[in-house]
Structure 1
Amino acid sequence: MLYLVCYDVADPKKLRRIHKMTAAYAVGGQKSFYECWMTESELRQLNRQIEDEIDLETDRAHMFSLDPRSSPFLFGVASRQSINPFMVI
């Protein structure tokens, strides 16, 4: 599934750790918003990892499932992300 993962974290060290966790699944994104292809298991794992890192009083994180069949609205220099199959060995 395709998900939009976004977060706002106050502590710079936690922000870097969450960025590394999220970037492992990202196929595109900018700053703290990332499109991520993940299985349900990977989503649960990332959810737990982020939940362990954030401060519930000052930080926030959101994960939205996206329909990969829908067409995005693109503005400015935006371009559609490639979703061609890939394999990491």
Structure 2
Amino acid sequence: MNSRSIYLICYDVCCPRRLRQVHQFLLGYKTGGQKSFFECWLTPRELRDVRMRLIELIDPVEDRVHIFQLDPRMTPVCYGVAVTRAINTPFIVT
């Protein structure tokens, strides 16, 4: 069984067409987040696939994508209408 790690994927894409493509692509992996910040539980292979696809979708001169591995042991601090999500059951990403 492949273990999953949690990542925060953030993007700033200038072109509306590329922005839609990146957003639609990442919707298939996200478990939480908002707008251009997505929390994604990924296996090492999924992470590799996500990185390769994002490189294809963006313009490296105009756009940027950041992928941060988060520590799942840390307790999130939320303010405003933010909600902490706990994933207690297995899930499948297709």
If the TM-score is normalised by the length of the shorter chain, which range does it land in? Answer: over 0.9
**In structure 2, what is the Cα distance between the partners aligned to 1:44 and 1:13?**
23
**In structure 2, what is the Cα distance between the partners aligned to 1:2 and 1:68?**
7
Runs of 4+ aligned structure 1 residues displaced above 6 Å come to: none
Taking structure 1 as the reference length, the TM-score comes to: 0.93
Structure 2, unpaired ranges of 5+: none
Offset, 1:56: 1.0
Paired positions, count: 89
**In structure 2, what is the Cα distance between the partners aligned to 1:49 and 1:21?**
9
Find out whether 1:50 has 2:57 as its counterpart. Answer: no
Structure 1 counterpart of 2:73: 69
Out of 12-21 and 31-40, give the one that drifted further.
12-21
Structure 2 counterpart of 1:40: 44
Find out whether 1:2 has 2:6 as its counterpart. Answer: yes
**In structure 1, what is the Cα distance between the partners aligned to 2:25 and 2:36?**
12
Structure 1 counterpart of 2:64: 60
CA deviation profile, 1:10-65 (whole Å, cap 9, x unmatched)? 11111111111111111111110000000010001010000011111110000000
Q: CA RMSD in A?
A: 1.3
Taking structure 2 as the reference length, the TM-score comes to: 0.88
